[in-house]
Structure 1
Amino acid sequence: MAVTDAAIDKIKEMIVSGELGPGARLPKEADLAERLGLSRNSLREAVRALSLINVLDVRQGDGTYVTSLEPHLLLDAMSFVVDFHRDDTVLEFFQVRRILEPAATAMAALAMTDEQVAELGATLDRLPPDPSVEQLVANDLDFHQQIAKGSGNNVLCSLIESLSGPTTRARVWRGLTQEGANIKTQEQHAAIYEAIAGRRPEIARAWATVHIAGVEEWLRRAL
């Protein structure tokens, strides 16, 4: 194992064991290096690597702290990797969406507050009668983001949000090239909303599956 990797593992063990909790300040560099049996250079490299993935927060003139370790922070690194996807992998992103989003939609049907459900409906109502593809896609992203947040599971929400970027261009492409796609999207959104508003999780799950699978199937044929 590389020296830097060993240093990362030792810091990780301190966090996982609870010795260093969210928001905790790391000991001074010299003290921590001696305690872990590391050179100061190896420790610096480990801290730098862990700060890049939002595990540690290096504050100049103050010290190094463990972050809040919230899922959205820790999954930022995955979002960075996702941004480098190739066009030929976009179908795989849709396949993952088809696994995750119906589950989130079913959870949202039970977990969303009445206020969140009302805002979800208002989001659909904000679309003009004959929306452009860009307006519809922006509304689509907002609609699905609200549902993901409404699931009540922060990890699931962060995963879904990280997948939205790679599929945006495909959504626009479908809206521009497939006849009736925009109307179908609005109808399916309405059905998903009605199922959530009616607190019917399995119907919400089914409509979400139909909705995402439809885009996936179109993309499969288009590619």
Structure 2
Amino acid sequence: MEVRRLLEPVATALAATRISDDQLAEIERHLDAMREAREDVERLNAHDAAFHRAVVEATGNETLLTVLEGISGRTLRARIWRGLVDTRVSDRTLAEHEAIFRALSVRDAALSQAAALLHVSNTEQWLKEHLRSGEALPWGMTTSGG
């Protein structure tokens, strides 16, 4: 999550300066699909990942896309876990993605970067708090590494 927080907001800012109308429409389709899937954590997260992939694709930088996809894949289980244990997460997630989309729509790099930073930082903060609590993670690990 830390690396994602370092790279994704900057990538989103770059996307704002390069995004085409067709790419923006694709991101909006993913956002609409997220709204429809708000009660299904796995579908919501699949569309969430597609949303972010489409944003990074809009940078036109294949290396950046490959790096961020690798990082995103490593955090998917944690994001699904968050959706299962936090009943309010889908509303917050949608609001954060809507802010990213609005900023991209007006091609505002600084606002896009800020919206993406807020989104990733909120997810990272939630995960850190739950890892500190010592509760077992759903994929069989504990915060002590067991």
Question: TM-score, with normalisation over the residues of structure 2?
Answer: 0.85
Contiguous gaps of at least 5 residues in structure 1: 1-93
Where in structure 1 do 4 or more consecutive aligned residues deviate above 4 Å? none
The structure-2 alpha-carbon separation of the partners of 1:112 and 1:183, relative to structure 1 and needing over 3 Å to count, comes to: same
Larger helix percent = 2
Match of 2:54 among 143, 146, 149: 146
Contact 2:8–2:116 (8 Å) recurs in 1 = yes
Shift of residue 176 of structure 1?
A: 0.9
Q: Which residue of 2 aligns with 1:189?
A: 97
Residue correspondence of structure 1 range 59-98 to structure 2 within 5 A? 94-98=1-5
Give 1:131 deviation, angstroms. Answer: 3.0
Alignment correspondent of 2:14 = 107
Q: Does 1:158 align with 2:66?
A: yes
Deviation of 1:221 (Å):
0.7
Q: After TM superposition, list the pairs within 5 Å mapping 1:1-223 onto structure 2.
A: 94-127=1-34, 128=36, 130-223=38-131
Return the alpha-carbon distance in structure 2 between the equivalents of residues 186 and 210 of structure 1.
13
Aligned residues: 130
- CA distances 1:120-160 after superposition (whole Å, capped 9, x unpaired): 11111123164311111001100000111111212111100
Q: What is the TM-score normalised by the length of structure 1? A: 0.57
Q: Deviations over 1:86-111 (max 9, x none)?
A: xxxxxxxx000001000110011111
Alpha-carbon shift at residue 179 of structure 1 (Å): 3.2
Please, which runs of 5 or more residues in structure 2 have no aligned partner? 132-146
Matched-pair contact (CA < 8 Å) for 1:97–1:160? yes
CA RMSD of aligned residues (A): 1.1
Tell me the secondary structure at the aligned position of residue 184 of structure 1.
helix
Higher relative contact order (CA 8 A, sep 6+): 2
For 1:191 and 1:130, the matched residues in 2 are separated by 17
